Amino acid sequence: MCEPHSLQVSIIIINRNGIAHLKNLIPALLKHTDSSLYELIFVDNASTDDSISFIKKGITAHHHAPLLQLIKNTKNESFSKANNQAVALARGKYLVLLNNDIEPCADWLNNLLACANNIKNIGSVGAKLIYPDFKRSTLSALYGRAKKQRKLANTLQHTGIAFNNEAFQFRPFNLGKGLAVDSTATNTSQQRVALTAACLLIPKQVYLDVGGLDEAYNYGGEDVDFGLKLLKAGYINYFCAEAVLFHHEFGTQNKEQKRIGALRRSNNLHIFQNKWFLFIKKEFWAEKIYAKSPFYAETSLSIAVLEKNFNKQNELNNQAIAQIKKYGWKLHYLSEKQFKKSQQENTYDFLLSQNNSGCIEIKSQHVNISLESKNWVESFYHYLIQRYLNPSFVLKIAAKKWQGIQSWGDYHMAVSLKKYLQRLGHHVLIQIHPEWDNKEGLEYDAALVFRGLRSYKPQHQQINLMWNISHPDDIFIDEYNSYDQVFIASHNWAVEISKKTKIPVKTLLQCTDVEIFYEPSDKEKQNYKSQLLFVGNSRKVFRKVIKDILSIENLADKYQLAVFGTEWKNFIPKKYIKGEHIANNELYKYYGSADILLNDHWDDMRQKGFISNRIFDALASGATILSDEVSDWGELEGFVETYNDHSDLANIISNCLTKIDGLNEYTAKGKALVVTKHTFERRAKTFSEIVKTHLLTTLS
């Protein structure tokens, strides 16, 4: 028996009603492990079988019994918590986490220690795990008659962990699973991303330094999470091919156990994706795109080609093949039958075919693009970098459906922001409200929500940004706090909210697209001239500025009021309605040609200083604007004519028209301010830098 002060290893075993496994584990452990090296710490999670008495008798009766510590929990604690309990009592320099369904083979521990002692910055060392011969196993009664067990008998179960990218998630899997035990590819000790905790050696101080196992997990995912924590902290996870153990992984489950197990796995995967998706995504795709040695992924980037329409004698195709080889990607030629099968099974990263017009079509779970055949490989290379390596954005807008989308102001905002983000090298997707919870959006690094009418529940596997552009009274502090950062289109309200939230809040006013909104030509001004213009949908309410105009007798007729927008028939005489829709790229002509452009705000926007996006578009178009008052115009003060009471409107409109030349001078200054400081180009740069900063924090 080893003295506590000279212990090298503390072997930790978690058990609950596992006496059948313990009868297999303990004799093999005592037989194949030098008792001078280790102590045993059993954590029993409220077993109701004879596990505890068997542990005591089985260990103490051995003529070279190791030191034994026994922790008796009153309930079934999680794998993470139970191991963390044991580590607090461990006296060894190293820890070994060992499942109770393991059967050690000769020299398993000596080989793990040799690897650990020979590698600088070691974080963890994992073993080669093998499925036993289930028929001959003393545990055969536990396995049932499943074909899966028979097929895997005497094959590899684990040589390390890598990731698959499927269903917009990164799922860990065991490398080597199902291969022959003597497979050349699995007989080499090497670094891994992570290793299973079914048998895992870790220096105790390293375990403590990274905070141990994350107790948010419940039997699943905690070992992969732990390996990634070690990796981020600068440690090495190492697969030791010489350390061999059998892993009796399978057992029969009834229907209820399967249901509970599926729910637990789903919860664990959700926790894992929230923590690690962005980190794995960058590493995984960088490996594939740049043809680095596989580490996070099992293989380099693979492209499957439908052979019948990819003529190898074609000069363009030959150039493409040479370019693919240059990038280090793997090209596979498939028959039509193989191609269809691979579409269903996602065997390859991308599937490539050529359509009737000669364009190259590339598809995967996440991609469906068409490229011109000339230089398509280079185009695809740059597409992959933009999509997977550069920060990517999903823009979420409140529109209910794509039909009639042109009538939604935040759609046009999203389109303009997308354009400028793409110019900065970002991949961008726009989602309308029914699509917000689609898995496709989870693939993007950052979700930017245009918060107006509808709230969104952030998914924390990505960076979540809110741009609060309207309806501030509908938003509570808890909603703001659910985001990583909030931008508010009102300086006063941003200051107020920042005092109450736990997350960063910044002012970010609305803006304009100067490629769409600019001053019309003289000829356009003649063609689109109007005196009193309002452009906007009624939103099924009698809009304030129009109601105020019509409340003054003859004012609308005197100045030839012209209204463009939908759902006005129930509120105003038909003679004032000049149309239902003006294309967004035509608006500048109407704005800049009107003597006075009318504007109003929702009550909560006026009170809290939210300036309508129409103000920015109109100033950029050189318009003279008359608007209801807003509590805080900020630096736009003086560039917009305002009224407080409808009784003032007649005089204000008359004065505006009388001094129109003088107002034009102010309008020009307002335009200069907007096109310099309040453009979508500038907003895109702001969001780009913010997301890069968040990613650096997440990935570092």
- Token readout for 419 is 């354009």
8 Å CB contact between 453 and 398: yes
Q: Give percent above pLDDT 70 in the chain.
A: 94
Query: 489 by DSSP, 3-state: which?
Result: coil
Rounded mean pLDDT of 321-346? 88
Query: 449 by DSSP, 3-state: which?
Result: strand
522-678 placed in CATH 1.10.260.40: no
The 10s digit of each residue's pLDDT in 140-175 is 555 444 555 667 888 999 999 999 988 788 999 999
Q: How far apart are the C-alpha atoms of 408 and 404, rounded to whole Å?
A: 8
4-276 placed in CATH 3.40.640.10: no
CA distances 53 to 30, 44, 47, Å, are: 17, 11, 11
Q: How far apart are the C-alpha atoms of 537 and 539, rounded to whole Å?
A: 5
Which amino acid does the sequence have at 118?
Answer: N
Q: Give phi and psi for 104, each to the nearest 5.
A: -65, 150
Instruction: Please state the domain extents for the chain.
Output: 4-276, 302-380, 393-511, 522-678
The 10s digit of each residue's pLDDT in 461-492 is 999 999 999 999 999 999 999 999 999 999 99
- Token readout for 526 is 């003649």
H/E element, 370: strand 368-371
Q: At what angle do helices 376-384 and 255-289 cross, to 10 degrees?
A: 120
Query: 570 by DSSP, 3-state: which?
Result: coil
CATH assignment of 393-511, given 2.40.10, 3.30.420, 3.40.50, 3.30.200?
Answer: 3.40.50
Rounded mean pLDDT of 222-229? 98
pLDDT band at 340 (very low <50, low <70, confident <90, very high): confident
- Indicate the DSSP class of residue 427: -
Neighbours of 666 (CB within 10 A): 15
> Among positive and negative, which fits the CA dihedral 292, 296, 298, 303?
negative
HSE-up (13 A, CA, CB side) for residue 66:
29
Lowest mean pLDDT of 136-140, 326-330, 466-470, name the range: 136-140
Residue with tokens 């398509």: 376
Query: 590 by DSSP, 3-state: which?
Result: helix
Q: How far apart are the C-alpha atoms of 224 and 124, rounded to whole Å?
A: 11
Q: How far apart are the C-alpha atoms of 384 and 568, rounded to whole Å?
A: 47
Q: How far apart are the C-alpha atoms of 265 and 577, rounded to whole Å?
A: 59
The residue count of the chain comes to 700
- The class level of CATH for 302-380 reads alpha beta
Q: How far apart are the C-alpha atoms of 96 and 102, rounded to whole Å?
A: 12
Which amino acid does the sequence have at 700?
Answer: S
Long-range pairs of 367-376 with CB within 8 A, sequence gap ≥ 24: 373/316, 374/316, 376/320
- Token readout for 83 is 């191991």
For residues 353, 355, 357, 362, the Cα torsion angle rounded to the nearest 10 degrees is -50
Give which of 293, 309, 311 is closest to 301, Cα–Cα. 293
pLDDT for the residue 306: 83
Q: Do domains 302-380 and 522-678 have the same CATH topology?
A: yes
Residue with tokens 């269809």: 340
155-156-161 Cα angle (round to 5)? 155
The β-bridge relationship of strands 94-98 and 350-354 is: unpaired
pLDDT for the residue 143: 47
Q: Give phi and psi for 595, each to the nearest 5.
A: -65, -45
Neighbours of 312 (CB within 10 A): 10
Give which of 303, 300, 349 is closest to 328, Cα–Cα. 300
Query: 566 by DSSP, 3-state: which?
Result: coil
| Maximum separation of any 2 CA atoms in the chain, in Å | 110
Q: Give phi and psi for 98, each to the nearest 5.
A: -135, 125
The 10s digit of each residue's pLDDT in 377-423 is 999 999 999 999 999 999 999 999 999 899 899 999 999 999 999 99
Q: Is the pLDDT assigned to residue 674 strictly greater than 70?
A: yes
- Helix and strand counts by DSSP (H, E) for the chain: 24, 29
Neighbours of 133 (CB within 10 A): 13
The 10s digit of each residue's pLDDT in 583-620 is 999 999 999 999 999 999 999 999 999 999 999 999 99
Rounded mean pLDDT of 126-144? 71
Which amino acid does the sequence have at 141?
Answer: A
